[in-house]
Amino acid sequence: MEHIEHQGRIEALAEDILTDKQLAVDYDRKRQENREAIRRLAEHAQKTKPTSRLATSTVNMGDFFIVVPTKKAQDMVGGAQKELEQAIQDVQQRLKKKVQLLGELEDDNRMVEVARSMSLKSTTGGELYGMADH
């Protein structure tokens, strides 16, 4: 029964690890999109005069679009970028701990299997090498 519980813990932890890996991939994809947005906003800011009516940018905010000054848009995307980078670091730290714990659990599991496969009685050297005492 203990072995089944142990295997259950291993499986649950492995599933957690896979979920966190997918989350890290999603965060990285969003971070790349933000990098592109930051670059395009910088290019747009260089092409327009700060006092111009064209010095605004349209930004997607969830389900709707808003028009804001380009500088404000750059600040918003930059702030989101910092939050994403922090979230990625947090996920990576969690992953390291979980992978280390999984390794420990799997090593424990291997040791349990080895112990079960071995006989609990003491074995002499002669028995190990097929020698019989006469």
Tens of pLDDT, residues 76-134: 999 999 999 999 999 999 999 999 999 888 887 665 565 555 444 445 555 555 555 54
The separation between the first and the last C-alpha atoms of the chain, rounded to the nearest angstrom, is 44
Positive or negative, the CA dihedral 115, 118, 121, 124 is negative
pLDDT at site 116? 56
Maximal C-alpha separation, the chain? 106
Q: What is the pTM of this model?
A: 0.69
Query: Cα(58)–Cα(65) distance, rounded to whole angstroms?
Result: 6
Topology, domain 2-115: Helix Hairpins (1.10.287)
Sign of the torsion formed by the C-alpha atoms of 24, 27, 31 and 33:
positive
The pLDDT of residue 119 is: 45
Closest residue by Cα to residue 27 from 88, 80, 82, 83: 88
Domain boundaries, the chain: 2-115
